[in-house]
Structure 1
Amino acid sequence: MSVHVPRDDDGAPRAQAGPNPQHLLTTLLGEYLDSADASLPSMAVVAMLREFGISEPSARAALSRLTKRGLIAVRGSGRPPVYHLTPQAIARHRVRMDHFLSFGARPPRWTGDWVTVSFSIPQSGQAQSGQAPRHAVRKALGALGFARLYDSVWIRPGSDSGPVTQALRDILDDVDGARWSVMNTRFAEETGPHGPAAAYDLAGLASAYEAFLAQYSDLRVAVRNGEIDATRALVVRTSVMDSWRKFPDIDPNLPEHLLPVPWPRQAARELMLEIHSALGSLAEARLVEVATPYWPDAASWITHFQASEDPVATFVGGGG
């Protein structure tokens, strides 16, 4: 299950809105490169991001941030610098792309099991004394896919309680007076007004899917009519994926009987897959074109992800 849609600021960090050079570069690298052996000149990256209206200083800042995060590394000591994807980043990209492209393909296998966490952190003489561990617990629970059902009662679908048990031990075992419990539970009235769906902002999530559909429906028509050239294909295909990639992280993937009807996820997924599949070769060709003046071997390394029928994503095309 994925990270929940928080009802307030106590959950996982919200995704940034609008163009973001670091997110775009992460999407580009995940979509179009699949080898740690490829030596990627910095100017090629600048040229790639220029296609999206990203300035050179912003492109270089994105490179620096991804380097600090360990997703890319500098190769050698030459100037201008040459980068490469780390093996760890390659493995992560493959898993993430599979996740993005297969998310929503099948309904979750449902057993009726939930993991429930309840905790109590006492207040003391100093008003802020309990705030730091309380914030840390909420942040950890949000990152693990939990949603807040009541003030200090958090839930997530499934039965695997190991990760949250360890997280609570790490945070609260040394906090005086703190108490917590991790339980495997079932709801007596799972679909009622006091059931688990109340912990999630499903209306907000549905609105996000509807906004995605509204944003890209005209593009699907243009794709079907053959109106998208390679230059536009790179931008819009990458933008569609950059917009879609938030959903597996904010959609808790609840079973169908807990979702409002109609639920727009499948329509949004089908739109994304149609655009993504149709424009893959064109986008790859444009990326090769803009990178080659700064990276003569670009055509040997640049490829693209394609959703397969299993449904699991796979790379097709080049990629040495």
Structure 2
Amino acid sequence: MSADDLRLPRSQAGSSPQHLLATVLGEYLNSTEAGLPSPAVIAILAEFGVSEAGARSALSRLTRRGLLAMRGRGRSPVYHVTASAFAHHRWHMQRFLNFGAHPPRWTGDWVTVSYSIPSAGQATRHAVRKSLAGLRFAGLYDSVWIRPGSDAGPVRAVLRELLGPVPGARWSVMHARFDEEAGPHGPAAAYDLAGLAGAYTGFAERFAALRAEVRAGTVDAARALVARTSVMDAWRRFPEVDPDLPAHLLPPSWPRPRARATFLDIHAALGSPARARLIEVTTPYWPAAADWIIFFAASTDPANPAPVGPQH
């Protein structure tokens, strides 16, 4: 199975058991060869208040989605992260930990999409909008969508797939520059930057007390795993919704740096105790746990998040 075939759990306001499990496995398992017994998974999710039935359901769903493969049958099957899911997790760890670290390299280029669909094609119109949003395009005007950058390959493929079979549908993919990029009718108007700023501020405020406890050294291992996973689960949504616009298109006092500093303070400080807690709760069911569990830390090398722990 390729990475493109994976069906990842959808991000949502509350973390489902399968979403939590995908987050934990992506952060803490260091190899596709790590065989995780189902009782160990049940013990992990119990840390988050998930019942045994919920844990088994999460395992089943992630297996159907291609993130896990089951080996063995009976009461205690063993699960492995698939190779495609492992590569996907590593890519995402790089993305999450480095997002916002450096201003985007800006050339002034925008990919612009315009399309026309016959009036009867409401379902097709909805599918196009959903797909464009998934590619991080934003609607500038009716049927005119934009995205910063110059890579138009993915959107061309999507439009050919969705609109090619539709009689009367037309579309254009263009590269554009705005004469008044920073003006009130420029590209920033396509984005809800006020809402995004509010989300970043809310993130920083939500985790302010935890950040203070981390700095004071009062978060023990029993809390570290849940706290660290919670902050990662909240932060990981921002790279999906933030267009990463250059500074001259952002409102003054943009709150992302404060939110990122909050995330990194907590994530870095709680890495080692969270790993220790994970080893503690899984070892009774998985004696080799300490040989396979790691944690990630932000790296000075943007191309490579740094795994800490035994490497295979």
The reply to whether TM is greater than 0.5 is yes
Aligned residue number for residue 116 of structure 2: 120
Displacement of 1:59 in angstroms is 1.2
1:262 alignment partner in structure 2: 253
Partner of 1:155: 146
Greater RCO (CA < 8 Å, at least 6 residues apart): 1
SS of 2:203's partner is: helix
For 2:79 and 2:199, how far apart are their aligned partners in 1?
Answer: 35
State how far apart, in whole Å, the 1-side matches of 2:22 and 2:52 are.
16
Shift of 1:61: 1.1
Structure 2 counterpart SS, 1:119 = strand
Match for 1:246: what amino acid?
R
Distance verdict in 2 for CA 1:219–1:310, change over 3 Å: same
Q: Deviations over 1:127-175 (max 9, x none)?
A: xx31121112112111111101111000000111121112111111221
Percent identity over the alignment is 66
User: Where does 1:1-320 land on structure 2 (aligned, <5 Å)?
Assistant: 15-123=11-119, 129-311=120-302, 312-320=304-312
Q: Mark the runs of 5 or more structure 1 residues left unpaired by the alignment.
A: 1-12, 124-128
Structure 2 Cα separation of the partners of residues 147 and 25 of structure 1: 31
Q: Counterpart in 2 of 1:9?
A: none
Q: Distance in 1 between matches of 2:178 and 2:108?
A: 8
* 3-state secondary structure, aligned to 1:305: strand
Equivalent-residue separation in structure 2 for 1:222 and 1:151 (angstroms): 48
* In 1, Cα distance between equivalents of 2:88 and 2:230: 20
Measured in 1, the distance between the counterparts of 2:277 and 2:185 equals 52
Q: Structure 1 CA distance, aligned partners of 2:264 and 2:155?
A: 34
* Residues 258-277 of structure 1: per-residue CA shift (max 9 Å, x gap): 11111111111111111111
Correspondence for 2:5:
none
C-alpha distance in 2 between matches for 1:45 and 1:199? 43
Whichever residue aligns with residue 203 of structure 2, its letter is F
Segments of 5+ residues of structure 2 without an aligned counterpart are 1-8
Deviations 1:22-67 (A, max 9, x none): 1111110011002111110111011001111111111111111111
Displacement after TM superposition at 1:299 (Å): 0.9
Q: Which amino acid aligns with 1:100?
A: F
TM-score (norm 2): 0.94
Task: Encode CA deviations 1:228-257: one digit per residue, 9 max, x unaligned.
Answer: 110111110111101110011111101111
Secondary structure at the aligned position of 1:205 is classed as helix
| Matched-pair contact (CA < 8 Å) for 1:302–1:319 | no
How far apart are the structure 2 equivalents of 1:52 and 1:63? 15
- Letter of the 1:152 counterpart: S
Task: Count matched residues.
Answer: 303
Structure 1 CA distance for aligned equivalents of residues 282 and 248 of structure 2: 48
Displaced runs of 4 or more, over 4 A:
none
Corresponding residue SS for 1:318: coil
SS at match of 1:117: strand
